[in-house]
Amino acid sequence: MKTRPLGRTGLHVPILSFGASSLGQEFRKVTLNEAINSVRVALDCGLNLIDTSPFYGRGMSEVLLGVALKDVPRESFLLCSKLGRYDLQHFDFSPRRVAESIDVTLHRLGTDHLDILLCHDIEFVEMQQIVDETLPALRQQVAAGKVRFIGFSGYPQKIFRFILNQTDVDCVLGYNQYTLQNTRFATETIPYLEEKGVGVMNAGPFSARLLTNAPLPKWLKEPESVKEAARTAAALCTRRGVDIAKLALQFSLAHEGIATTIAGSANPENIKNWAQWASEPMDEQLLADVQSIFAPVMNLGHQEGLAKNN
């Protein structure tokens, strides 16, 4: 798997990383064997940066990931987890919870350190707390050797400048905004992040199944016009003999300013397909045709978090 540098961290990460949210049964029931096999296949395919969170499955993702990694040499993979979001409406970015959350995460994962630790979905809280309290507490954890690099994640583009105009972090994670249908992360934010020397991670190349042939989840918040365009684009890809998911993944992976794109599944066959797609050239004509379909709804998205943070 091709790698890229993650900002100034010194880490070289695979352009495609494994997202363990599915291990938390966020989308369907997952067996222990599925969880273990998915992780092992991901590592075998070179997806050796693994992303999780205590929010995913309310701890289940971290627990199953710890089981799957039990006998895997620690130096053979990188671990990224998060803190601050623990349920749909439960957020706690207090300094006291920082230390507690990291210790719980380390216990679940069966390791003594995290390579990356992110403040999770900061747009749902008063973000000044992240600057004044959470990140300073995280730096103490770095000094203690429990975490190597720190940052934050979220959806609205505003959050990146809000934090980074006041303080420094090592890396950030945006999601669902560098896709075939939405490139705001690249046009509005990535150049700014590059100037700051901040490592760029991207999640959600399939935009919560929007850019796949799978049924759309009921909770998907995108406008109906976006959903309709996605169905039209998927049908065109099918007629050309290509799964729209393949084009979507290849498009996200192609951006040189994005160190890694994170995709998750508890189905080992999906992971094998992704690794294969990552090694194949993208159909540029198909891409142009799909982008034409998305042109009328390009960059249309939804609101997320506190109104003033969007």
Domain residues for the domain of 144 are: 11-309
> Mean pLDDT for the chain?
96
pTM, two decimal places: 0.96
3 inside domain: no
- Residue 53 in domain: yes
When divided into structural domains, the chain yields a total of 1
Which pLDDT score is estimated for 255? 98
Least confidently predicted of 47-56, 68-77, 182-191, 216-225: 216-225
The verdict on residue 2 lying in a domain is no
The answer to the question of residue 146 being in a domain is yes
Residue 113 domain-assigned?
Answer: yes
In terms of residues, how long is the chain?
A: 310
**Does residue 214 form part of some domain?**
yes
Give per-residue pLDDT as tens, 148-181: 999 999 999 999 999 999 999 999 999 999 999 9
Residue 252 · residue 15 · CB < 8 Å: no
Closest CA to 175 of 74, 260, 112, 238: 260
In a domain, 6, yes or no: no
The whole-number pLDDT of residue 218 equals 84
Does any domain span residue 4?
Answer: no
User: pLDDT by residue (tens digit) across 73-124?
Assistant: 999 999 999 999 999 999 999 999 999 999 999 999 999 999 999 999 999 9
Q: Which residues have a catalytic role annotated?
A: 56
CATH for 89: 3.20.20.100
**Tell me, what's the pLDDT at 307?**
64
Cβ–Cβ < 8 Å for 201, 171 = yes
